[in-house]
Amino acid sequence: MIKINPDIIKKCKKGDTSAQKHVFEKLYTPMYRVCMRYLGIQADAEDCLMRGMMKAFQKLDGFDYKGELSFYSWLRTIMVNESLMEIRKKNYLMLVPEEYAHNTSDSADIISTLAAEEIFDMILELPLGYRTVFNLYVIEGFAHAEIAEKLQITESTSRTQLAKARAVLQRMVLKTQLHYGTDAR
Amino acid sequence: MALTQDKNIKEKIDSLTGLPDGYTPSMESKWELLQTGNTRPAKRQYLYYAAVLLLLLIPAWLMMNKKNENISSVRKNIPATNKIAATDKINIGKTSVTEEAAKRNIKANHYYSQNTPSIQNLKTNAVVEAPKKEIVPMTETEISRNIIIADSIPHPMIVNVEHSKKHKKRYVEMDFDDGEVHTDKRNDMVQNPVFKFNISFGMASKNAGNEPSIFQIKKTF
């Protein structure tokens, strides 16, 4: 979470280029991470980020400052929406039918034992459908109903995708730990 | 348990502040790119405006075409003949070609070549029909030759002219300075003149002795 000074936002609204550049440079990395987490391809993530930034600066007048973290959250929402638009546009989302979904045990909290960068890389390795639902549910904190609406799928499909994503991630962790000669708990 | 696990994952992901390994973008170039708006949507926007402009231009072009068609249809209605101003009167001497006549002829020919039939028709209402062929300005020697040939024709040429709008017949007079213009009837009369004599007798008046007698001859040609 990156805090942005209200004065800088005011300057940005007035069209101050240096203030806008400051915001751009400060938020480029976290926003790139957001786009990359959804799209998984560097070029697509860059394009998405640029579009999101342009949109943000164009619609800055409509932004209401409600705290130091509000601009970050607002911009992040724009980036998530842009990423979802990109996914929908390119028909990336190939969701797995429900009958193939398996329930995984939540007891095995092995994913959280990994380092942040490792988790990030593992999320990128997930199939797009799993990854999108996992990102929206776990990282962004949306409910299944909201995810279903955003992705135009049913709630049960969203749940299934999430369960499958967790299962795949657990398998990945186990595989990694076995690779390093350690036992997964 | 899942909630705790998700919370841990979220915190770890949000804590990532640096860029992934191997990815070092140039912030300056990215900023410039953002400033110029040289991104894919901008290009698409340009295409959109181009399409809108094209859609606006097509009806305008069609309207222009329609106007041109109207003008051309008006032109088509006029008989496709070479036309000259009816007011032109070319006088050429019969026996000798004067310089004045030659100059006039040159002027007339120049006038034909300068004005295309369609344009000429727009300029003047009075038009003269001429044979359908390309008119080339004549040299002075050609003019004199033509005049000599014209001289050999027994009767002066009279060109029938149709007025394009008023439908009145007009004529171009080809005056060869040979005196009167004779028609066939007149020529017959000249060749075979008929004289009618009318002698009238009246009663002598009281003053008849003082006045001379009248002998009237009426001739009819």
At B88 the pLDDT is 47
Arithmetic mean of pLDDT, B54-69: 88
Cβ contact, residue pair B14, A53, below 8 Å: no
At A184 the pLDDT is 43
At A31 the pLDDT is 92
- Conformational region of residue B91, where left means phi above 0, alpha means psi within -120 to 50, and beta covers everything else: beta
Please give the Cα distance from B118 to B185 (Å, whole number).
40
- The answer, for B24 touching chain A at a CB cutoff of 8 Å, is no
Residue B61 φ/ψ, nearest 5 degrees: -65, -40
Every domain of chain A and the residues it spans? 6-89, 98-179
**Yes or no: is domain A98-179 CATH 2.60.120.330?**
no
Pairing mode of beta strands B169-175, B90-91: parallel
What is the residue-wise DSSP string for B43-81? HHHHHHHHHHHHHHHHHHHHHHHHHHHHHHHHHHHS---
Using a CB-CB cut-off of 8 Å, the residues of chain B touching A166 are 2
- The answer, for A65 touching chain B at a CB cutoff of 8 Å, is no
Distance from the first to the final alpha carbon of chain B? 140
Averaging pLDDT over each range in A90-94, B62-66, B89-93, B154-158, which range is the top one?
B62-66
Distance from CA of A106 to the nearest CA of B (A): 6
- State chain B's mean pLDDT as an integer: 65
What is the residue-wise DSSP string for B161-211? EE-TTT--EEEEEEE-S-SPPPPHHHHHHHHS-------------GGGGTS
Distance from CA of B51 to the nearest CA of A (A): 22
Q: What is the pLDDT of residues A53-70, one digit of tens each?
A: 999 988 888 888 888 788
Question: Could you tell me which residue, A91 or B184, shows the higher pLDDT?
Answer: A91
Q: What is the pLDDT of residues A152-176, one digit of tens each?
A: 889 999 999 999 898 888 888 887 7
Residues 6+ apart with CB under 8 A from A1: A69, A72, B14
At B85 the pLDDT is 46
Distance from CA of A49 to the nearest CA of B (A): 10
Q: What is the pLDDT of residues B8-54, one digit of tens each?
A: 888 888 888 788 777 778 888 888 888 887 545 555 677 888 899 99
Using a CB-CB cut-off of 8 Å, the residues of chain B touching A114 are 12
At B53 the pLDDT is 92
The CATH number of A6-89, from 1.10.150.120, 1.10.150.130, 3.40.190.10, 1.10.1740.10, is 1.10.1740.10
Among candidates A174, A98, A111, A115, which has minimal Cα distance to B1?
Answer: A111
Helix axes B40-77, A42-58, angle to 10 degrees: 70
At B32 the pLDDT is 87
At B195 the pLDDT is 60
Examine domains A6-89 and A98-179 and report if their fold is the same.
no
What the block records as the tokens of A112 is: 């959280």
Question: pTM of the predicted model, to two decimals?
Answer: 0.52
Of A1-10, B68-77, B132-141, B168-177, minimum mean pLDDT range: B168-177
Residue B153 — very low, low, confident or very high, per pLDDT cuts 50/70/90? Answer: low
Please identify which residue in the block is written with the tokens 């295409």.
B47
Q: Would you tell me how many other CB atoms lie within 10 Å of the CB of residue B46?
A: 11
**Which DSSP letter does residue B139 get?**
P
- The answer, for A168 touching chain B at a CB cutoff of 8 Å, is no
- The answer, for B39 touching chain A at a CB cutoff of 8 Å, is yes
- The answer, for B13 touching chain A at a CB cutoff of 8 Å, is yes
ipTM higher than the 0.90 cut: no
Q: Are A55 and A47 in contact (CB under 8 A)?
A: no
Nearest to A29 among B5, B17, B35 (CB): B17
How many Cα atoms occupy the beta-carbon half-sphere of B18 within 13 Å? Answer: 7
Question: Could you tell me which residue, A156 or B77, shows the higher pLDDT?
Answer: A156
The yes-or-no verdict on residue A80 having pLDDT over 90 is: yes
